[in-house]
Structure 1
Amino acid sequence: MPNNSFLFKQEPCWKPNHPGLRHALPQAVGSWVYEAGSLTKRLRGFYGDSFAVKILFHQWRPAFLSECKQLHLPHQQYGLVREVLLHADGKPLILARTILPTNTIKIAKRNLSHLGTRPLGEVIFSYPDLERRQLDICSIKPNDWSSDIRQLVKIEETIWGRRTIYAIKKQPLVVSEFFLRGALEAM
């Protein structure tokens, strides 16, 4: 397992979003990948107060190479890496990985570095100047996940994910979300 991720053995292979890709995704996956609003709001609407966040990894570490490129950071520059499990009554829904560069944390007045178990979506979608810059998509086979996460959430099938580059006051952050069976059942 890399020392900058609890979720992965190695960096996922992302593909840029394009019009034909939308039709290649299973319908339930597409519903989540192309959700324009907050996933937190959508999950709370479905699960109510049983929706919660479990922190899996929260450390200052270098981002993956492709994340550094997306953030225009030198490779090996540290950022805050946060990986969480979104769940409802213990039912795994979404795995998420966020990369927060220092400048983005500063511009957000440190709100992003002290989230605790508060969902990121609750915070970033409250910024009126939030920009969505890019969307990438990947599928990850069970053996590409770390053994720890495979045991924790019982990953037995290919998982689809999206990586979104957001910006708050022109400062970027990377949010990657991976849709587990529990989320796909909550359409």
Structure 2
Amino acid sequence: MSDTPPNDASEFFQAVADVSPLQSDRARLRGNRVRKQRNDASDYRRQAAEQEPETFVDGLSTTAVEIIESEQDLLFVGPGIQIREIKKLRRGHIPWQAGLDLHGYTLEAAREELARFIRDCKNNSLRCVLVVHGKAYSQPGQPALMKSHINDWLRQLHPVLAFCSAQPKDGGTGAVYVLLRQKT
């Protein structure tokens, strides 16, 4: 090997051709899993940024969000919520009074419908509602975009105090119970 550094990609690849990867399975598996998730999320963010400028509907941003896995549990707790209330919500012990099923909606339509639904529920003094977002099983290999956006949008809506994935009888990880502020 020469004393001068390689000046183009082919010389670099020739210089590192005899390098072998680490033999630890644990490190390789962890690295591949994290890298794949980041590539999926960053690809989606890049595509979304290239396709449309950021806009807001009822204060909800259209920018890309953190990608959530289909089976991942969702949990958000705003300030001032008692642990006892969250436990009751997670167990499904707070009866939901209205529901919204977003199957078949585009992201744009779902964002508008969710904002309208939460606003109407708050105006009608509802305490707990169910939002069904699905798990994205209809498109194998695709990220759960609707679930990811619902997770982000609910956090942005002022009437939302807390939310969590529903019990299996109400949709499991394909739905969320949403605890709303009481009208004052």
TM-score where L is the length of structure 2: 0.31
More strand by share: 1
More helix by share: 2
